[in-house]
Structure 1
Amino acid sequence: MNPVLIAYGMLALAIVSEVTGSTFLVKSEGFTKLWPSAAVIVLFSIAFYLLSQVIKVIPLGIAYAIWAGVGIVLTALIGYFVFRQSLDWAALIGIGLIVSGVVVINLFSNSAGH
């Protein structure tokens, strides 16, 4: 199987793990609740391990840009739908600019390693 494809799959899993860990971070209430706190530690450990494997194939800057862009969107959606946290227009525009940057990198950059 193509190593780049595997790396992007691992990056997707890393992002999901990090976003899920961030969700449990809210539930941990400042690390005062045992099981949500343990979930944060395990999920972030998985996320960083996977990212460490991804950057063997995909350049760090590209991997991190994708990680950050997708992570921000997913975290904002979870904040909105799960925690009922609203976003104003400035936040939505900023998130849109981040997503646009990730799209530009993936479509037009030779550094993206596709």
Structure 2
Amino acid sequence: MKWLLLLLAIVLEVCGTTLMKLSNGFSRFTPSLLMFGFYGASLVVLNIALKQIPVGVAYAIWSALGMVLISFIGVMYFKEPLSPMQVTSIALIILGVTGLNLSGIHR
């Protein structure tokens, strides 16, 4: 359950970030308002997940997976470019988070 909560927090954060892009610098009211709602909901769910997951592990996964997902959305939906260096950097972040989880420190 704790990992599902963390995943929900990540999805809510990615929705908030996507809405931030759609708000066009707060010039569009509905996406701007929804952005705050999704970010707030993400932090609430993350806070609940932190009752069972160490903060370092949870935040690393939350930020890394969120970054991967929003990068994918940026490329696929917003047609943003993705350079080989960016792909390599994303892969290194994923490796780092995987290493953190496999280290057993959070158990």
TM-score, length of structure 1 as denominator length: 0.90
Question: What runs of 5+ residues in structure 1 fail to find an aligned partner?
Answer: 1-5
The number of aligned residues is 107
1:62 maps to 57
- Aligned residue for 2:24? 29
C-alpha separation in 2, matches of 1:8 and 1:64: 12
- Among all aligned residue pairs of Structure 1 and Structure 2, give the percentage whose two residues are the same amino acid: 36
Specify the code of the residue in structure 1 equivalent to 2:39: F
Residue 108 of structure 1, CA deviation: 2.7
Cross-structure match for 2:102 = 107
Q: Which residue type is aligned with residue 93 of structure 1?
A: T
Runs of 4+ in 1 over 6 A off after TM superposition: none
Amino acid at match of 2:20: L
Show the counterpart of 1:77.
72
Query: C-alpha displacement at 1:56, in angstroms?
Result: 1.1
1:8 aligns with 2:7: no
Cα root mean square deviation, aligned: 0.9
Which residue of structure 2 lines up, in the alignment, with residue 96 of structure 1? 91
